[in-house]
Amino acid sequence: MSPRVLHVFPSFALGGAQARFAALANRFGAGFRHQVVALDGDLAARARLDPALTIDFPSVPASKNAMLGNALRFRRLLRDWQPDLLVTCNWGAIEFALANLPPVARHLHVEDGFGPDERHAQLPRRVWLRRLALRGSTVVLPSRTLDRIAREVWRLPQARLRFVPNGIPTARFAAPPRPARVEPVIGTVAALRPEKALDRLIRAFARLAAHRPARLVLVGDGPERGRLTALAASCGVADRVCFAGHQDDAAPYYAGFDVFALSSDTEQMPLSVLEAMASGLPVAATDVGDVRAMLALANAPFVTPLDETALAGALDRLCADAALRRGLGEANRARAAAEFDEAAMAASWRALWDGSAT
């Protein structure tokens, strides 16, 4: 019988970690059976999963400010369910990691990045709890920045850490050559949440738009939409900014962009940047996580400090030069195909799930 894997997410709303899980589960098919716990009850990413998968979604709500009580309750569930593997995702699932002490199941913890409360520094209480809960677990990290934090700040044993870069089906994002438009399209694909700092992008665009024809397209939805719409109006660019909302398939939008922009305060190895690279786009981005290392070397001058003026300057230079955009886009496309295709990532994850890598 195929191994049964229990995956615990703070939320199963669609995001990078959830999209990666769906891609892997769909790819491996009947090779694994799955249980998915969304501690907030949001199962929106379920729509990405193949209906033929053997998978169930038990309801396991978590009580606020009750870490010990939650951990004891979760441990009883682990004993009842007896999964072959427990996979916890990010800080929001740490109580399930604590519940597995001492181990009921083999444990992988995946750390994809941090929310707004840890965008600038690690919180001491969380550092100590990660050190306690994860010391005997295999910890999977998609970025070199996170790998360094796990070693130097959380002080986890090097032997327990696995660096597995994110990957995407690069061929699916291949786009035809882009025309040299008089009004270039700057685009981003992101959840409209505070840590994405899309207000920085709108202000940067407004600086550029004061002297150059261009349009801005934001693909994604979230709690910041109303505030961002109002900001575009107050900056005088509402007629040049399009809020496209959530899209199940963003590939056609990448194909319609001339420049990809990332304005986040915190990222690690964002899938959106990989998708933009695979689509042959130049990227103007804030210098967060592994973004600089992900991009082709020639794109490095367009990775900026967390500053709207610097981001506006990078966008302006790219919008001004179609030949530069084409050259950088081709370099990014080649790097994505060579380094970040989904096949290599999937091979690493299969070995982690079936135990052959640990």
CATH of residue 30's domain is: 3.40.50.2000
pLDDT of residue 117: 75
pLDDT for res 58:
97
d(CA 251, CA 247): 9
Q: What is the pLDDT of residue 358?
A: 58
Check whether residue 105 and residue 206 sit in a common domain: no
Number of domains in the chain: 2
Pairing status of strand 161-163 against strand 138-141? parallel
pTM for this structure? 0.84
The verdict on 218 and 320 lying in the same domain is yes
E strand map for 94-170? 106-110, 138-141, 161-163
**In this structure, what DSSP letter does residue 179 have?**
P
Q: Indicate if 266 and 256 belong to the same structural domain.
A: yes
313-328: burial string, b at 16+ Cβ within 10 Å, e else: bbbbbbbeeeeebbeb
335 and 347 both lie in a single domain: no
Strand partners, 9: 38
Q: What is the pLDDT of residue 118?
A: 75
Which residues of the chain, if any, have pLDDT below 50? none
pLDDT at 154: 96
According to the model, what pLDDT value does residue 121 have? Answer: 79
In the chain, what is the greatest distance between 2 CA atoms, to the nearest angstrom? Answer: 64
Tokens 């998609």, residue located? 142
The whole-number pLDDT of residue 113 equals 86
Are residues 312 and 235 both part of a single domain?
Answer: yes
Clarify whether residues 294 and 321 are in a common domain. Answer: yes
Domain that holds residue 275: 170-339
Same domain, 120 and 210: no
* 122 lies in the same domain as 185: no
Shared domain check, 335 and 349:
no
What pLDDT score does 206 carry? 98
Same domain as 190, residue 156: no
Q: Is the peptide bond before 102 cis (omega within 30 degrees of 0)?
A: yes
The answer to whether residues 33 and 126 belong to one domain is: yes
Separation between Cα atoms, residue 75 and residue 96, nearest integer Å: 7
* Domain shared by 120 and 257, yes or no: no
